[in-house]
Chain A
């Protein structure tokens, strides 16, 4: 059994003597009637060797695919060695929130650099230190745009269902009312938007690229949204922003999204990294931890947790969010990834996905998987399937390939990244031919 305790029996006796108490009396303030009068019904502790064997056996029950053609909110990317090596430094791993600035400049600076990366990719003026994931980032963004007379939020149905569901939960007890706008042919059209915009609209939320991989006409949607006096929230994968025009340049007031693609493994859904960034106009409404630059008493540059007047430990029930942590280690990991890749590397990762997705789509088309939405897409796209989507999944699984996500009985959402080469895509096509011809 592992215990991680240090004090010996002799030390324990010394301590009890110093306190003037017997060990059995340590918990006397708990009424005896309430006490658990039996051991916790769990197995006895195991040694490190035994635990590792048990955990390895569990890990081996999970199927790890060699080719992954699925995204839909969690993408498989190459993670350079330097990312894992640096992000597992114990000074970063075993520290807590940098409350003592003088003692935590390393953590604070890493977050400041992360915020700077996010601002540069999104074009925004300020970012927070991150939140739990993309879905919660989107849900927190809703709170930022509510105004006394504007409580209605319009969300395109091309935003990820996980994100929309999270927003519905977050707003279930709030004043915000959510309207889901129907897309046509994969994207939101201006006539649908115009029909719903009113003086009560607080914001429009769209994803770009959206859940189906399609590129929305952000500039146009932005113009109509702003003409109605509402804000635009864009949900974007930051990796694609090394290639695509930034949300700010398209007119967004708030950019949020899931940054898992920046160096975090898929890990069955978490931990991930929700980013939030906005313009100077809304910066004091950003929730969560924020790191700012300041000076120390000798005039040296220093970093510190700032704008705390918004936060729960000061405002308690008047705070609009109860966030009191961030995904600091994930933010650091993303920053290391961005630094290691650099602007050129990031763009190349994005472009590999873009090129290979388009190549794969054309090859799929030839064997009967028809592109569902005839609009520009990035590295994800939806096709119809000549046989049941689940049958495709089972067939490819035999070859150690994770197929795209089945989103309807005969529809598949594919995702291609830099991890799958053209030769491998050709291989996938040859396996698919076995069942389509």
Chain B
């Protein structure tokens, strides 16, 4: 592996030079200054370049190859988005400039919000939340504000299906709610009878991902929405899987009151190794009075007396929103629909080629992703979903999401996205089948995989038991 930047440090070596001081020295009044310089790396520009070039070789993005990481929608990130996001007129403006001097930004954000409204069937969007989980928290605070404003104060619970992302219950907890888990039915949808049993006047909302984390569209959504609304609760839409349904069906038309989207998934903004993302929140009319401070609609800052307040500084991850808007302009009405169609076609194709070799957790046509269970394989060969994933690394493809959703044992969640070709998928399918055979013929080989990566499997337990979170300078 690479040296750390600190291990490349040579005393008194310098990178960037700055102009000479042109103003008199300032001696601060009391003991506020450092006794000694921080012990940061002392390197030249060339050192920095070689260091990060080396690190980049030990990273893998969508641009390097297939990345079917389920639920993360690792679609291709168009280069045009990077060009528009680096325009000076977007980069060099201060967030507190007078609105009359940032008309382009105000217009862009308003148009993006309006486009998202049309795509999802909602009435208003805030672009302030910076990630999906941030959007969830914002959405739940909106729901809380709505019930409180109506003096409906008994509602202290949020219902979450057992297939949900872990962020759903965690965000609800942050918003002060206690959680009721509802089980899935044998088809992977919400168990409607179980839902009925827990619905009452203490329920603030049901959080749902549809298509859900099994890649299935819940056909009972209308009934579910009616039941929740009848009980006085609201419906929250986790937009992680919106890439399956653009132009086909809209959360707003399914009955959802609040949605969050992940622009870094559906709208092609790069994931950046974990961020920055953007998690805008859309609402129906009855929730608009509570939208966060810092929300821009129709080229104006929304002024809500009943606002939940701001959920971060300024107006969100602006440059991420610039990229998403670029993408929407590029694809347009038809292009967005075609993207979803191809995402669903690709997923169904992969499933059709793997279903005889592996157990599909919930068979039947899927949407944009599907989940395999490798429990059988593990029982027969001792090879786990993790072992198969580690085997995939040697083929230079990114493994699917593993061990999620929690209700599927030895889960592998596969989401090809629309920006992959049949050849790429065929190759991946072949590798997966080869690895399955290897599990029977040479399990030890897989247990020790990967072989071609810069390091072998890591000791997670050591890392957690004796946390080393920084270099000892």
- Cα A88 to Cα B178 in complex, Å, equals 42
Considering only residues 319-364 of chain B, those with a C-beta below 8 Å from chain A are 319-320, 322, 325-326, 328-339, 341-342, 344-346, 348-349, 352-353, 364
Contact partner of B97 (CB less than 8 A), chosen from A58, A63, A169, is A63
Residues 240-275 of A, flagged 1 when their CB comes within 8 A of B and 0 if not, give 011111100000000000100000011111111000
Selecting from B191-199, B308-316, B376-384, B434-442, the interface stretch reads: B308-316
Contact partner of B317 (CB less than 8 A), chosen from A111, A125, A270, is A270
- Give the residue name and chain of the B residue nearest to A130 (CB): B275
Q: Quick check: B313 and A134 within 8 Å, CB to CB?
A: yes
Q: Quick check: B28 and A40 within 8 Å, CB to CB?
A: no
- Cα A166 to Cα B137 in complex, Å, equals 13
Q: Quick check: B471 and A270 within 8 Å, CB to CB?
A: no
Q: Quick check: B313 and A166 within 8 Å, CB to CB?
A: yes
In this complex, which of A21, A62, A91, A130 has the most chain B Cβ atoms within 10 angstroms of its Cβ? A62
A231 CB contacts on chain B under 8 angstroms: none
B268 CB contacts on chain A under 8 angstroms: 4
Nearest Cβ on chain A to B358's Cβ, whole angstroms? 16
- Cα A315 to Cα B406 in complex, Å, equals 12
B4 CB contacts on chain A under 8 angstroms: 109, 112-113, 116
Q: Quick check: B95 and A132 within 8 Å, CB to CB?
A: no
- Give the residue name and chain of the B residue nearest to A94 (CB): B61
- Cα A139 to Cα B270 in complex, Å, equals 26
Q: Quick check: B176 and A168 within 8 Å, CB to CB?
A: no
State whether the Cβ of B186 lies closer than 8 Å to any Cβ in chain A. no
- Cα A357 to Cα B368 in complex, Å, equals 55
Residues 224-259 of B, flagged 1 when their CB comes within 8 A of A and 0 if not, give 000000000000000000000111111001100000
Contact partner of B15 (CB less than 8 A), chosen from A56, A89, A342, is A342
Q: Quick check: B48 and A29 within 8 Å, CB to CB?
A: no
In the complex, 7 of the A-B residue pairs with CB atoms within 8 angstroms, ordered by the A residue number, are A6-B420, A95-B271, A102-B457, A172-B309, A271-B275, A294-B462, A314-B166
Considering only residues 360-404 of chain B, those with a C-beta below 8 Å from chain A are 364-365, 367, 389-390, 393, 398-399, 401, 404
- Cα A120 to Cα B39 in complex, Å, equals 7
Q: Quick check: B470 and A116 within 8 Å, CB to CB?
A: yes
State whether the Cβ of A421 lies closer than 8 Å to any Cβ in chain B. yes
Nearest Cβ on chain A to B23's Cβ, whole angstroms? 4
In this complex, which of A116, A265, A397 has the most chain B Cβ atoms within 10 angstroms of its Cβ? A116
- Give the residue name and chain of the B residue nearest to A96 (CB): B271
State whether the Cβ of B182 lies closer than 8 Å to any Cβ in chain A. no
- Cα A2 to Cα B165 in complex, Å, equals 32
B270 CB contacts on chain A under 8 angstroms: 93-94, 329
Contact status of A86 and B468, CB under 8 A, knowing A302-B455, A332-B273: no
Tally of A-B Cβ pairs under 8 angstroms: 691
State whether the Cβ of A428 lies closer than 8 Å to any Cβ in chain B. no
Q: Quick check: B89 and A68 within 8 Å, CB to CB?
A: no
- Give the residue name and chain of the A residue nearest to B42 (CB): A342
- Give the residue name and chain of the B residue nearest to A168 (CB): B309
Nearest Cβ on chain A to B292's Cβ, whole angstroms? 7
- Cα A322 to Cα B60 in complex, Å, equals 26
Q: Quick check: B18 and A135 within 8 Å, CB to CB?
A: no
Selecting from A189-197, A333-341, A429-437, the interface stretch reads: A333-341
B330 CB contacts on chain A under 8 angstroms: 1-2, 45-46, 48, 51
Interface size on A (CB < 8 Å)?
204
Q: Quick check: A270 and B422 within 8 Å, CB to CB?
A: no
Contact partner of B118 (CB less than 8 A), chosen from A42, A86, A96, A335, is A42
Q: Quick check: A129 and B274 within 8 Å, CB to CB?
A: yes
B280 CB contacts on chain A under 8 angstroms: none
- Give the residue name and chain of the A residue nearest to B419 (CB): A4
Residues 343-382 of A, flagged 1 when their CB comes within 8 A of B and 0 if not, give 1111111011011101100000000000000001000000
Nearest Cβ on chain A to B73's Cβ, whole angstroms? 10
Contact status of A313 and B141, CB under 8 A, knowing A2-B331, A63-B97: no
State whether the Cβ of A388 lies closer than 8 Å to any Cβ in chain B. no
Contact status of A316 and B169, CB under 8 A, knowing A52-B83, A269-B316, A302-B1: yes
Considering only residues 424-471 of chain B, those with a C-beta below 8 Å from chain A are 448, 450, 453-460, 462-464, 467-471
Nearest Cβ on chain B to A265's Cβ, whole angstroms? 4
A308 CB contacts on chain B under 8 angstroms: 464
Nearest Cβ on chain A to B303's Cβ, whole angstroms? 14
Contact status of A113 and B6, CB under 8 A, knowing A316-B170, A321-B170: yes
Residues 35-64 of B, flagged 1 when their CB comes within 8 A of A and 0 if not, give 101111111010111011111111111111
Residues 1-19 of A, flagged 1 when their CB comes within 8 A of B and 0 if not, give 1111111000110111011
Q: Quick check: A31 and B222 within 8 Å, CB to CB?
A: yes
State whether the Cβ of B179 lies closer than 8 Å to any Cβ in chain A. yes
- Give the residue name and chain of the B residue nearest to A270 (CB): B317
Q: Quick check: A306 and B273 within 8 Å, CB to CB?
A: no
Q: Quick check: A70 and B96 within 8 Å, CB to CB?
A: yes
- Cα A166 to Cα B309 in complex, Å, equals 7
State whether the Cβ of A213 lies closer than 8 Å to any Cβ in chain B. no
Q: Quick check: B353 and A92 within 8 Å, CB to CB?
A: no
Nearest Cβ on chain B to A377's Cβ, whole angstroms? 9
- Cα A388 to Cα B152 in complex, Å, equals 46
Considering only residues 123-137 of chain A, those with a C-beta below 8 Å from chain B are 125-127, 129-130, 132-136
- Can you list the 6 inter-chain pairs with the closest CB atoms, starting with the nearest? A269-B314, A59-B89, A45-B332, A94-B61, A61-B104, A173-B176
Q: Quick check: B115 and A42 within 8 Å, CB to CB?
A: yes
Contact partner of B404 (CB less than 8 A), chosen from A72, A170, A313, A342, is A313
Contact partner of B464 (CB less than 8 A), chosen from A27, A292, A336, is A292
Contacts beyond the supplied A86-B52, A163-B313, A265-B92: 20 A-B pairs with Cβ under 8 Å: A18-B349, A26-B344, A39-B247, A40-B246, A51-B330, A57-B104, A92-B59, A95-B272, A101-B455, A106-B2, A135-B312, A294-B458, A295-B458, A300-B455, A307-B464, A317-B170, A329-B270, A339-B47, A342-B13, A352-B19
Q: Quick check: B83 and A126 within 8 Å, CB to CB?
A: no
State whether the Cβ of A304 lies closer than 8 Å to any Cβ in chain B. yes
- Cα A245 to Cα B37 in complex, Å, equals 10
Q: Quick check: B469 and A119 within 8 Å, CB to CB?
A: yes
- Cα A342 to Cα B45 in complex, Å, equals 10
Q: Quick check: A166 and B274 within 8 Å, CB to CB?
A: no
In this complex, which of B2, B52, B166 has the most chain A Cβ atoms within 10 angstroms of its Cβ? B52
Contact status of A300 and B95, CB under 8 A, knowing A11-B422, A93-B61, A340-B48: no
- Give the residue name and chain of the A residue nearest to B216 (CB): A29
Nearest Cβ on chain B to A299's Cβ, whole angstroms? 9
Considering only residues 101-121 of chain B, those with a C-beta below 8 Å from chain A are 101-105, 107-108, 115, 118-119, 121
Considering only residues 19-39 of chain A, those with a C-beta below 8 Å from chain B are 19-21, 23, 25-31, 33-36, 39
Contact status of A42 and B39, CB under 8 A, knowing A267-B93, A268-B95, A329-B275: no
Contact partner of A12 (CB less than 8 A), chosen from B38, B345, B352, B419, is B345
Selecting from A74-82, A144-152, A198-206, A221-229, the interface stretch reads: A74-82
Q: Quick check: B88 and A283 within 8 Å, CB to CB?
A: no
State whether the Cβ of A105 lies closer than 8 Å to any Cβ in chain B. yes
Contact partner of A169 (CB less than 8 A), chosen from B88, B179, B311, B353, is B311
Q: Quick check: A74 and B91 within 8 Å, CB to CB?
A: no
Contact status of A30 and B249, CB under 8 A, knowing A135-B312, A300-B1: yes
Contact status of A45 and B72, CB under 8 A, knowing A309-B464, A327-B276: no
A329 CB contacts on chain B under 8 angstroms: 270, 272-276
B56 CB contacts on chain A under 8 angstroms: 86, 89, 91-92, 106
Contact status of A132 and B348, CB under 8 A, knowing A162-B314, A316-B169: no
